[in-house]
Amino acid sequence: MTGFVSFVSSGPGDPELLTVKAVNRLAAAQVVLFDDLSSGPILGHAPQADLIAVGKRAGRPSPKQDHVSRLLVDHALAGQKVVRLKSGDSGMFGRLEEEIVAVQAAGIAYEIIPGVTSASAAAAAYGIPLTRRLTARRVQFITGADVTGGLPENTNMAALADPMATTVVYMGRRTFAALAAKLIAHGLPADTPALLAEAVSTPDQQITRHTVESLATHLQDAQSPHPALIFYGPLADFPA
């Protein structure tokens, strides 16, 4: 009997940001394959499940994607209720597509349960909106790293340098200095407000205010084990 896969989004780390549906799926799970950022107290909602760590973190040994997909398929084909627990929202830079393709190819039924992405959680924690009526009518989420870990090529720099947009950079700690140089070269003022949000919604959370230029300098020198988000644009100077 074929099982079922639930792709469950855990939010950025605070267990209270889990959705009711996410909690229900964890409680019913027989197997949970979880990311590093979805561990800790969140796993307490799956008391009867076998817990398998499959998280990927930059610069650390991590399971290969084909291995993770194989585990999903194997457990589901064994007839189990499988939860693939992903941090933030699973559809936001979470390699969800690769795993969906694997379960579809195996004829396994699945569902996707959305969650709070870290961008929304960071803005809420800092006390700001993601949009502003006159100065930030557009929000864009981008990744700061391609499959090699470098700054992605062929990006739309005109869009990224738009001073009227809120831009949120995921996985951009290592590449932001290079991105900032390109942004400034494409006309974004060097003093554009920026925020660095680290370990969002965890006890280690820290959100600091910068400019695009000063943040690029800061990140060249700073070392931190915590996941980070970068915001820049007109809302980063919102009174907070």
Residue 33, strand partner residues: 52, 84
**CATH number of the domain within which 101 lies:** 3.40.1010.10
pLDDT in tens, 68-82: 999 999 999 999 999
Q: What is the mean pLDDT of residues 147-160?
A: 90
Q: Is 56 a catalytic residue?
A: yes
pLDDT grade for 89, boundaries at 50, 70 and 90: very high
Mean model confidence pLDDT for the chain: 92
Q: Is the pLDDT of residue 139 over 80?
A: yes
Residue range(s) defining the domain that contains residue 42? 4-113
Per-residue model confidence (pLDDT) at position 136: 87
Tell me which residue of 38, 235, 13 sits closest to 133, measured CA to CA: 235
Q: Is 35 a catalytic residue?
A: yes
Please identify which of the residues 35, 89, 92, 162 carries the catalytic annotation: 35
Please identify which of the residues 21, 36, 56, 146 carries the catalytic annotation: 56
Please identify which of the residues 14, 86, 92, 171 carries the catalytic annotation: 171
CA angle 35, 39, 43 (to 5 degrees): 115
Contact 65, 98 (CB under 8 A): yes
Q: Is 92 a catalytic residue?
A: no
In this structure, the answer to whether residues 64 and 129 fall within a common structural domain is no
pLDDT in tens, 189-239: 999 999 999 999 999 999 999 999 999 999 988 788 888 999 999 987 776
Q: What is the mean pLDDT of residues 54-78?
A: 83
Per-residue model confidence (pLDDT) at position 46: 96
In this structure, the answer to whether residues 91 and 133 fall within a common structural domain is no
In this structure, the answer to whether residues 197 and 135 fall within a common structural domain is yes
Q: Is the pLDDT of residue 58 over 60?
A: no
**CATH number of the domain within which 165 lies:** 3.30.950.10
Cα–Cα distance between 68 and 55 in angstroms, integer? 9
